[in-house]
């Protein structure tokens, strides 16, 4: 919802289509991002919200009308999103306007929903102020339209760029975040406003997605939710202490006692706790991803859904994305987004080096097993239920199932929630 484009080299689906053992049509598309897609006016404003979500629904309507002309089946549409893209799809799972437009859903590494419900408004106000426009003015849109788009875009920042020190855009994004934090006079508040998100408006998005799913009020389609083994290393650069990020998620003063209890839970599972930094990264990966996915899958199962949970366990020899964030990713950890290079193997010289024949073979195996779920053949991916909590781990040897994966660790982490987190996170387990 913040940055990116469907035409980027890493998002082509050419080799996925060519090497698939299933007939598949891969569609990528653009929608409005940042303030252009998620602008939010002051209370009482007539500025429309969720424009980016309406763009996505328009694309899905186009698919229903026209995919048959390309040999596709409008009754077999699967949505796929990764990271914030996965969270965006959560809104479609509960949106009335999205019902019937898709039939399965792939959620890759959806992070815990820890973002402030005022993020869009806070960021719109900040960017408007910097552009010389009054946020509460009835002529806000007219004023913003006079600002060159690139200039307005330059006032914004995104989490991905902030995770890559030294790369293009890092300095500009860091400067924008610092300006925003100073304007907010609260660094924790600034951190909670780190993204743009669909907002509850009672119409396009009738309520909080997690609450509606827990109540059984969602578009029940088969869902496969995956994560990777070392998520946090791909999002927190080596220059940032993971203590800081965990302190944002846990109740104030809880970091040390929770870390001790977490270590004890590992010992009880006959796992030797790692070094301090690695331990904190494990806690972060569980808190932001695995425990959130466990909670989401339980809600779906209890509400009559058909969730499946998987984890990318492979140690990649090819991770051009994670290597920009951490040397641990460059050394073979399965970091945030590492699975995408294997699920969407790229041609045109941008993908896995053909000389890495075992990696190429694994990529084909993994992507085809994901596509088997798309085709309704979920044999690889064991259904998740509230009792057994099956998680399908996947590496170069293939899939295997672990029941109650990270259950004890999540039970430790779930009892501590920072007061700054949204109520649905603080109240929901």
Q: Which residues are catalytic?
A: 83
Cα–Cα distances (Å) from 93 to 60, 105, 382, in that order, read: 13, 9, 21
C-beta of residue 337 within 8 angstroms of C-beta of residue 321: yes
Q: How many residues does the chain have?
A: 429
> What is the phi/psi pair of residue 177, to 5°?
-65, -40
Question: By the 8 A CB rule, do 343 and 81 touch?
Answer: no
The crossing angle, in degrees rounded to 10, of helices 276-285 and 242-249 is 40
Q: How many CA atoms lie within 13 A of 62 on its CB side?
A: 10
Q: Single out the residue of 261, 236, 264 nearest to residue 248, CA to CA.
A: 236
Cβ atoms of residues 192 and 114 within 8 Å: yes
Identify whether the C-beta of residue 360 lies closer than 8 Å to the C-beta of residue 342: no
What the block records as the tokens of 68 is 């048959």
Q: For residue 221, give the nearest of 111, 75, 16, 87 by alpha carbon.
A: 75
Q: What's the first-to-final CA gap in the chain, in angstroms?
A: 26
Q: Max Cα separation, the chain? A: 63
Q: How far apart are CA 121 and CA 65, in angstroms?
A: 35
C-alpha to C-alpha distance for 291 and 407, rounded to whole angstroms: 8
Q: How many CA atoms lie within 13 A of 291 on its CB side?
A: 24
Do 204 and 92 touch, CB atoms closer than 8 A? Answer: no
DSSP label at residue 130? H
Closest C-alpha among 103, 391, 376, 363 to residue 227: 391
């Amino acid at each position: 919802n913040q940055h990116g484009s469907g035409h980027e080299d890493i998002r082509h689906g050419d080799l996925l289509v060519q090497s698939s053992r299933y007939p598949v049509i891969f569609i990528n598309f653009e929608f409005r991002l940042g303030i252009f897609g998620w602008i939010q006016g002051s209370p009482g404003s007539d500025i429309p919200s969720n424009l980016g979500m309406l763009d996505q629904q328009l694309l899905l309507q186009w698919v229903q009308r026209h995919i048959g002309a390309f040999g596709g089946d409008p009754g077999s549409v699967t949505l796929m999103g990764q990271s914030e893209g996965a969270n965006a799809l959560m809104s479609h799972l509960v949106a009335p306007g999205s019902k019937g437009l898709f039939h399965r859903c792939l959620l890759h590494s959806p992070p815990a929903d820890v973002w402030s419900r005022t993020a869009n408004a806070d960021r719109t106000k900040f960017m408007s102020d910097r552009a010389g426009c009054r946020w509460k003015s009835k002529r806000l849109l007219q004023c913003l339209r006079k600002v060159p788009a690139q200039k307005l875009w330059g006032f914004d920042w995104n989490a991905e760029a902030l995770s890559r020190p030294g790369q293009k855009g890092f300095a500009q994004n860091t400067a924008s975040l610092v300006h925003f934090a100073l304007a907010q006079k609260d660094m924790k508040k600034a951190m909670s406003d780190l993204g743009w998100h669909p907002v509850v408006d009672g119409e396009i998005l009738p309520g909080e997605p997690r609450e509606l799913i827990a109540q059984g009020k969602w578009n029940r389609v088969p869902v496969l939710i995956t994560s990777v083994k070392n998520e946090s290393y791909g999002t927190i650069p080596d220059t940032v202490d993971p203590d800081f990020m965990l302190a944002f998620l846990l109740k104030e003063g809880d970091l040390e006692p929770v870390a001790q209890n977490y270590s004890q839970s590992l010992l009880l599972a006959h796992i030797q706790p790692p070094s301090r930094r690695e331990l904190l990264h494990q806690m972060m990966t569980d808190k932001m991803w695995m425990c959130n996915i466990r909670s989401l899958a339980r809600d779906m199962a209890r509400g009559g859904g058909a969730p499946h949970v998987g984890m990318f366990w492979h140690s990649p020899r090819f991770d051009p994305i994670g290597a920009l964030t951490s040397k641990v990713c460059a050394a073979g950890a399965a970091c945030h987004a590492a699975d995408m290079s294997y699920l969407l193997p790229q041609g045109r010289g941008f993908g896995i080096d053909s000389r890495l024949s075992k990696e190429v073979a694994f990529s084909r195996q993994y992507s085809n097993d994901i596509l088997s779920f798309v085709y309704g053949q979920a044999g690889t991916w064991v259904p998740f239920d509230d009792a057994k909590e099956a998680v399908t781990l996947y590496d170069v040897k293939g899939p295997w199932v672990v029941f109650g994966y990270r259950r004890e660790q999540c039970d430790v982490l779930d009892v501590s929630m920072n007061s700054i987190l949204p109520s649905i996170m603080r109240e929901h387990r």
